[in-house]
Amino acid sequence: MASIPLPPYRRLLLAQVFLTLGLTLLASLVFPQALEAVFLGGLIAVVPQGTFFALAYRHRGARQMQRNVQKLFAAEAVKFGLTVVLFALAFGLVQPSNPIFLLITYIAVVSMHWLAPRLLQQGMKPH
């Protein structure tokens, strides 16, 4: 029985984590007062994305196609809800010193999806 290969989503998630850490390091050097906001912005992007991948790609196979589609919709709903909750917690409890840094970092990390075809294509090359 042939199985459907798992997409190499870990590359995208790792790229998002490294971008978050890189922007946090840059913020610590250039804008130390924005360090917490930058880290939170990246965290708000990475945690829901990782949760989506964990939920969406738990099962695979052609026989389970309908269940896989349902899991994709459920995983996207969880991702959206988690994003809303994390933004609410960031603005409600932590109150970043400069919210624009939080939003810019969030947008930059989420924009890594534009590189997803390139990152995923490299992971699917036969060895």
Q: What does the domain layout of the chain look like in residue ranges?
A: 9-122
Has residue 6 got a pLDDT over 70? no
pLDDT digits (tens, 9 = 90+) for 84-118: 999 999 998 877 778 899 999 999 999 987 777 77
Q: What is the amino acid identity at position 25?
A: L
pTM beyond 0.85, yes or no: no
| Per-residue pLDDT band at 18 (split at 50, 70, 90) | very high
DSSP H helical segments within the chain, as ranges? 9-30, 35-56, 65-89, 99-110, 116-123
Specify whether the CB–CB gap between 36 and 7 falls below 8 A. no
The secondary structure of residue 16, as a DSSP letter, is H
**And the tokens for 14?**
């790792």
Percent of the chain with pLDDT over 90: 49
Q: What's CA 10's distance to the chain center, in Å?
A: 10
The per-residue pLDDT of the chain, averaged, comes to 84
